[in-house]
Amino acid sequence: MLIPVRPAVCWQSSLRFQSDGNGVGLHRLLVALCLTIAAIMSKEACAQTTRDLHTTGEKPVSYDEFGPQSSANCLVVLHGVSGLSMPFYKDQAAYFGEHGFHVFFPHYLDATHSPAATTDHYRVWAQVVEDLVAQCHQLSSVKKVFLVGYSLGASVALAAGSQGVSVNGIAEWYGSLPDEFFYQMKGMPPLLILHGERDANIPIDNGQQLVKLCDMKQLHCDHHFYPDQGHGFSGKALEDADQRTLAFFAAN
């Protein structure tokens, strides 16, 4: 499995200037002030806070928050089966936080005894998503709520979407809709389907089937398949997928 690597998006600056008596010191002071403000804004976007989620399930689940808490857009980011051990997923959460989203990053695998992709586990994980989405809607600043999922997280997002979770859109990266949820589908929010044609883990057939489902059910869906990508995106494909995801959220 390809492990994507994203450049760090968080930074901070510490500068010290001394006036030379010719006005240059004032100019440098203003520059330092601007950099300090930018650093504060960057730290707000990238700061991580961990909280406990009050779920309807039996086991407690924690989640991390990124981005401005006053944002009108709430985003639930769902990691893959590797969970917190793969830095890429938190990097993605920080990336969307930097782009103005109030990001919720749940440790949803904690809700079950194992990460096995069974129907019962999907139901538990989808319930975690639904509980967190409900928490998003309780925030007075929030106007829209979105989901983005990666691999197993994308499948969890699709399972929740099929059961009518109240979100404005789902961006699914190289996932699949579990069979049981296909047969019991109650609806689906607008979808962005992104998949690599060389994916040997969750083959491209799954993405193509989602496109067919969109046509059959007359759902609002966008999709893009990357000919040179496997299970996970890297390089220009990763940059493109991020931009497509941001544009999809902006349009919905």
| Burial degree of 172 (CB within 10 A; 0-12, 13-18, 19+) | buried
Q: What pTM was computed for the model?
A: 0.82
126-154 CB burial, b ≥16 within 10 A, e <16: bbbbbbbbebbeeeeebebbbbbbbbbbb
Inter-CA distances, 179 with 75, 215, 225, Å: 26, 18, 22
| Burial degree of 112 (CB within 10 A; 0-12, 13-18, 19+) | buried
d(CA 51, CA 133): 15
Q: Which of 145, 107, 114 is nearest to 128 (CA)?
A: 107
Q: Are 76 and 142 in contact (CB under 8 A)?
A: no
Q: Would you write out the chain's pLDDT as a tens digit for each of its 252 residues?
A: 444 545 444 432 233 323 344 454 555 555 445 444 444 444 444 556 666 666 555 678 999 999 999 999 999 999 999 998 999 999 999 999 999 999 999 999 999 988 999 999 999 999 999 999 999 999 999 999 999 999 999 999 999 999 999 999 999 999 999 999 998 899 999 999 999 999 999 999 999 999 999 999 999 999 999 999 999 999 999 999 999 999 999 999
Domains of the chain: 10-46 (no CATH), 48-251 (3.40.50.1820)
